[in-house]
Amino acid sequence: MKTRIVLLGATGSVGSSAVDVIMRHPERFQVEAVVGGSNVRQLAAVAQQVGARFAAVADSNKGDALKTALADAGLTIESGAGDAAVNAAVDVDCDLVVAAIAGTAGLRPTYRAIRPGRRIALANKETLVCAGAAFMRDAHAAGVEILPLDSEHNALLQAMGGAHADDVEEMTLTASGGPFLNWTKDAIAAATPEQALKHPNYAMGAKISIDSASMMNKGLEIIEAHYLFGIEHTRLQVLVHPQQLVHGLVSFRDGSVTAGMAAPDMRIPVAHCLSLGLGDSLDSGSGERLKTTLPRLDLAAVGRMEFFKPDMERFPALALAFGALSAGGGLPTVLNAANEVAVEAFLARRIGFGQIAMVVEETCSAFAGKVNRSPESIDTALEIDMLARQWASNQLTHRFAAA
């Protein structure tokens, strides 16, 4: 029996990786619905490729354009546009929802995907950063298993091997160091968008590429790990590992350490998550792994791997993320919102790269003590998100623009 899939974020980088894996195993998977942001031509092409039965575009103005694109692709499937159509796609009966919509735009659809009997392969980090306590609470109450789709969290899941969180002494996520691995603090602060977008190992979207360059992405992943695995911030660490072959390490209280290792290819964690969607228990760590021809790890060819502690002075965004997680409450939500505003401003060349962390720090400082409780719902998280965005935007207009 095929695993029925709803694919949210079908036209993004993670969605494309999921499509590639799915298409290599047509006997195993049936894509019921696909959701994209605004690129209707690409969405129609994906719908045709995977044989989707419903397509939704988030941009409410693109409904007619999507119908035309689907018709041009020879498809007569149902489609829609806007929030109602996205919700309809999420509600389609399936076994597994791949949640890969980027940014806070993915918050509501991912949360809506919590339904008894379905699993969620989670690549939308904002769901956990902004509303992690509420999301995991409600997923647990509904009996929904969350499969970590990010390479680092997927590696940690595999390294855990079904062990209990109480047996874990420390979890370590690795970071490539991004394009500014060996740059000086002043050079990083003066970097251009073109320089910041050049990730050494992955081809990703603009937002996540900038976050990787600032190491904010790793900070957000630390917050994710806290909620996914129930690990306190004091037991979470980051190591810079330029080769990006070890994606996560789990240190146990008996002194043993296990590592999640693979070639740096997003299709590998996707394949693992999809195999877990075939029906075995997440807790057992067992699944009918898919046979793939994806890149293999050749340690002899690699020869040497490097690991060192991150430099928080050159990459202050990582320190800010650890600080927000330590403070708790709604501060991670504020951190994420301010960062999205600042990254957008940087890409528009309104501020310098070094000012991204400054905007985030000042926004978090302004909200410290005012958001002491973790958001109890998605609505609360989005309200905090909106207020933080407004504050950060005002700072950009009245302070940083003048500077």
Question: The CATH number of the domain where 14 resides is what?
Answer: 3.40.50.720
pLDDT of residue 331: 98
Confidence at residue 281, expressed as pLDDT on a 0 to 100 scale? 45
pLDDT value, residue 106 = 92
Query: Any residues with CB less than 8 A from the CB of 131 and at least 6 apart, and which?
Result: 107, 111, 333, 375, 377, 378, 380, 381
- pLDDT confidence of residue 64: 97
Structural domains in the chain (count): 1
Question: Count of alpha carbons within 13 Å of 57, Cβ hemisphere only?
Answer: 24
pTM of the complete model = 0.92
For residue 144, is it within any domain? yes
Whether 110 and 120 have beta carbons less than 8 Å apart is answered as yes
Are the C-beta atoms of residues 180 and 191 closer than 8 Å to each other?
Answer: yes
Of 325, 336, 323, 340, whose CA–CA distance to 374 is shortest? 325
Answer yes or no: is 379 within a domain: no
For residue 61, the enclosing domain spans 3-149+264-276
Could you tell me if residue 252 is inside a domain?
no
Is position 402 within any domain?
no
- The per-residue pLDDT for 205 is 78
pLDDT at 137: 96
In a domain, 103, yes or no: yes
Terminal CA-CA length for the chain: 61
Asked whether residue 339 is assigned to any structural domain, the reply reads: no
Residue 180 lies inside a defined structural domain of this protein:
no
Residue 115 in tokens: 């339904």
Please give the pLDDT value at position 6: 98
CA atoms lying within 13 Å on the CB side of residue 313: 6
Helix axes 206-214, 331-347, angle to 10 degrees: 110
Confirm whether 60 is domain-assigned: yes
pLDDT in tens, 98-132: 999 988 889 999 999 998 889 999 999 999 999 99
Give the strand order in the sheet containing 146-148.
78-81, 54-57, 29-36, 3-8, 96-99, 119-122, 146-148
The pLDDT, as a whole number, for residue 282 is 46
pLDDT of residue 284: 43
Instruction: Write down the pLDDT at residue 115.
Output: 84
Q: Which residues of the chain have pLDDT under 50?
A: 280-286, 402-403
CA-closest candidate to residue 271, choices 98, 94, 394, 112: 98
Say if residues 329 and 374 touch (Cβ distance below 8 Å). Answer: yes
